[in-house]
Amino acid sequence: MKIEIGESLMLSYLKHVKKCILYQTNWKVSSNWGITNVAFDKVQYVYNKIINHTEFSDIFKSELNQLIKQSEIDVIGLDSNNTIFTVDIAFHEAGLNYGSKIETKNRIFKKLLRSYLTLLAYFPDKKYELLFSSPKVNQATEIIISDYFKVLENNFSDENVTFKYISNDKFNEDILLPTLAKTDNNSDTNELFIRSITLNNLFKEKFPIQKNNLSSTTILNQTIPLANINKKYNIEYGNELELLPDIETFRKKLLEVHRAKWTILYSDGRTEKGIWDARNITEASSIIGNIRSGYLRNWKQKGIMKATFEVTDL
């Protein structure tokens, strides 16, 4: 069976970051599974809503029954709070590309909406979080996908259904780095991605890596080859920067209030505090990139030991 490094990364992401207790790659529907009448009515309703929607009417070429039978999800997981996570990932080194920009857009939304219909059919009483991710998406394609994603969220999301699209800087910031941080002390040999990082660390002394003496995390304090999928992030990311309470919550709150308290501790014992005016930060912005290029620029030369950021309503 073909093994995809992107799928292995996302399995580790669901297991360690999303804390899924059950997880699987290459999940497929069985023809032996049945669908209750109540569930099928809901699926039929949503299917009709999709094919009659002006923006998504052309993405499905198959009838509903055949569409669900052909369903395949790259990675699926279930957490202890009864939420099912689905992930489809596309790792194209030259940038996400399934043909033309429109064909690429249609392929993405077909994956997301088919997964949604499948979850409604076989897991009708759960909450869903459906994710499409790609580490590199060219700007023109990104704009099209982002525009249609807003339409998807407005028409098909509710308190039990969340759709997510993560790419470029956010892929590195929200998926790659948190997964590495959470898996530093895990050594499951079934996780190909984690094993590849472990192999890289065996030879870390062979490379001119600048280490952070303040951090005990060996994985994150070196340049990791996989991070080259986003060259902008081919930098150290260690314990000198802390976003409270965690990066996902920090990002969400920052986009709401556009300000955050910061505290910087220096090696000479000085402490500075202030407020970050983040009115220019958007959904597409790299939070960590903005902090590093501003407050933490040349942090070692300045003697910065620790920078803590926390969103505030004040």
Task: Check: CB of residue 197 under 8 Å from CB of residue 224.
Answer: yes
User: Which of 3-12, 76-85, 231-240 ranks highest by mean pLDDT?
Assistant: 76-85
Question: Tokens 């809503």 appear where?
Answer: 49
Task: Check: CB of residue 142 under 8 Å from CB of residue 258.
Answer: no
pLDDT at 226: 36
200 vs 126, higher pLDDT = 126
Q: Is the pLDDT of residue 34 over 60?
A: yes
pLDDT at 218: 36
Ramachandran category for residue 101: left, alpha or beta (phi over 0 → left; psi -120 to 50 → alpha)? alpha
For residue 123, with 0-12 CB atoms within 10 Å meaning exposed, 13-18 middle and 19 or more buried, which class applies?
middle
Q: Is the pLDDT of residue 121 over 90?
A: yes
For residue 301, with 0-12 CB atoms within 10 Å meaning exposed, 13-18 middle and 19 or more buried, which class applies?
exposed
Q: Is the pLDDT of residue 18 over 90?
A: yes
3-state secondary structure of 29: coil
3-state secondary structure of 309: strand
Q: Tell me the pLDDT tens digit for each residue of 171-225.
A: 988 998 888 877 665 656 678 887 777 776 666 544 443 433 333 333 333 344 4
Task: Check: CB of residue 247 under 8 Å from CB of residue 181.
Answer: no
Work out the number of other CB atoms within 10 angstroms of the CB of residue 125.
Answer: 7
Percentage of the chain beyond pLDDT 70 is 83
Q: What are phi and psi of 77, to 5 degrees?
A: -150, 155
Whether the pTM exceeds 0.85: the reply is no
- For residue 245, is the peptide bond before it cis, meaning its omega torsion is within 30 degrees of 0? yes
pLDDT at 232: 32
Alpha helices in 132-286 (DSSP H): 139-156, 168-171, 177-182, 192-202, 247-257
Q: DSSP label at 205?
A: G
239 vs 12, higher pLDDT = 12
What's the whole-number average pLDDT of the chain?
83
What distance lies between CA 307 and its chain's CA centroid? 24
Instruction: Return the beta strands (E) in the chain as ranges.
Output: 20-28, 72-79, 83-89, 127-134, 161-167, 241-244, 259-266, 271-277, 304-311
Torsion of CA 170, 173, 176, 182, to 10 degrees: -140
The Cα 215–Cα 237 span in angstroms is 10
Q: Give the β-pairing of 304-311 and 259-266.
A: antiparallel
Q: Tell me the pLDDT tens digit for each residue of 243-291.
A: 888 888 898 899 999 999 999 988 888 889 999 999 888 887 878 888 8
Q: Is the pLDDT of residue 108 over 50?
A: yes
Could you tell me which of 249, 207, 252, 250 has the C-alpha nearest to residue 225? 207
Could you tell me which of 241, 224, 300 has the C-alpha nearest to residue 276? 241
pLDDT at 314: 56
At how many degrees (to 10) do helices 5-12 and 192-202 cross?
Answer: 100
Q: Which domains does the chain have, with CATH numbers?
A: 5-171 (3.40.1350), 240-314 (no CATH)
